[in-house]
Amino acid sequence: MVGDLMSLNRLPGLAEVAMQSGAYTGRAIRRAVEGRTKQPKPFRYLDLGSAAYISRGRAVVKVGRLNVSGVTGWLAWLFIHIAFLTGFRSRLGALLTWLIVFASGSRRERAFTSAGTRVPTDPAPPAH
């Protein structure tokens, strides 16, 4: 739940804030359980940059002064996501899945809309 406090102290609403603050809190709890009395330094967010997937083979990545987009951005985005996965099997599985999806053009995700659904014009009468 610590990550849900991302608006605390005007921090950006990013997963990285939640991950860093969660790790910080975990370390603080461990210190307390181990009986260490020295107070940890206050939490400080380290901006590691931003990455956003745009479309098939296109993304934007900003790390410090480095800004890349297009295919180069997509490759950087792919590397970042693979690097943060834990374990060889997770990384290999993600790479294979992405390779199959990219090569075949198939997608498992689907968007559902209300287009074509019938909306009743006469709502049910109120219960007495």
Give the per-residue pLDDT at 86: 80
At 68-107, the pLDDT tens digits run: 999 999 999 888 888 878 888 888 888 888 788 777 876 6
pTM flag (> 0.85): no
Give the per-residue pLDDT at 71: 93
Distance (Å, rounded) from C-alpha 100 to C-alpha 13? 32
List C-alpha distances in Å: 101 to 16, 60, 74, 89, 118: 27, 20, 15, 18, 34
- pLDDT at residue 41 above 70? yes
pLDDT band at 128; cut points 50, 70, 90: low
The mean of the pLDDT values for the chain is 81
